[in-house]
Amino acid sequence: MAIDVPGVFAMQALAKKATEKRLCVLVDYQLPTAPPNQEVRRRILDGALDGLAHIYSGGTCGRLPDPEVGPTIENLFRRAWYSHIALGGDLPLLYDIHIIDGVTWITGQRAVAAGGYSRIVRPNAHGDRADCGGVVFEMADGTCWTHITQRLDNKAVINNLSADLMGLKATAHIAYWGEVFVRGGAQEYSAAISKTIYADGAKANIAEFYRCVTEGDFKNSTVHRSVDCHLTAILGREAMRRKTWLTMDEILKENKKLEVDLRGLKV
């Protein structure tokens, strides 16, 4: 939806204006549309965890194109935009946003502070995107949330667009792929996510958009939820890049805009 703080709030303002004009806007994330994830969330909200203690999540996939920048950035628009933070937002926003959105959807919170570290390890890197890193978020209610990320072909076995929400008596697992569950306590549950979640999720979101239009539901709630997940992802990116502890208030006060060099591009 956006890759910097000004962009996030620009989208939020557009959603508010759309509501005033009785128009619909929908942000198409698929994980929350999967019935097994919805059932896990329902049980968590019903007290299945007996209180949330900490969260562990991750995102990992293979290497991405990283070509040299030519006379203009035109050659970056065919997937290579991933390698430049001003175009793709870095790892938390270009891929991991799916599970970051999932966690904010489950908890109803955005992070209030974060500390982390990231690095570039690919040889002859041309873009400024990191290859791996980790961040610990502090949530508003004190929950500790650890997130790790990487873009390397190393056969790693880590949470991939999935999260474990660990409580006092049970653990819940939400995911973009594979099995989801609640283990422990009185509300155990297990189910598999459809292997076609990307297409199924898009169809579900199109159907939801149609419902909002035809029933006059102009709350545009997916945009407002996305504000929380995108600000959390931006906070995590900046904490990892700067290798320090940052608060959300500091990031919002900075209101830093990422600039893209469009010189030389033709319409």
Cβ distance 76 to 153 under 8 Å? Answer: no
- Among residues 85, 4, 86, the alpha carbon closest in space to that of 252 is found at 4
The percent of residues above 90 in pLDDT, for the chain, comes to 82
Q: How many helices (H) and strands (E) does the chain have?
A: 8, 9
User: Tell me, what's the pLDDT at 61?
Assistant: 81
Distance CA 206, CA 253 (A): 36
Q: Are 128 and 84 in contact (CB under 8 A)?
A: yes
| Residue 72 confidence (pLDDT) above 90 | no
The string of pLDDT tens digits covering residues 17-31 is 999 999 999 999 999
Looking from the CA of 194 toward its CB, the CA atoms found within 13 Å total: 14
User: pLDDT-derived band of residue 205, with 50, 70 and 90 as boundaries?
Assistant: very high
The answer on pLDDT for 258 being more than 90 is yes
More confidently predicted of 70 and 5:
5
- The answer to whether residue 62 scores a pLDDT higher than 90 is no
| Percentage of the chain exceeding pLDDT 70 | 100
pLDDT at 60 over 80: yes
pLDDT single digits (tens) 160-194: 999 999 999 999 999 999 999 999 999 999 999 99
Angle at 105 between CA 150 and CA 254, to 5 degrees: 65
62 or 186, greater pLDDT? 186
So what's the pLDDT on residue 97?
A: 96
CA 217 from chain centre, in angstroms, equals 25
What is the chain's mean pLDDT, rounded?
Answer: 94
In the chain, the domains with their CATH numbers are 32-194+227-254 (3.30.360.10)
pTM across the whole model: 0.94
* Of 266 and 235, the one with more pLDDT: 235
Strands 179-183 and 189-192: antiparallel
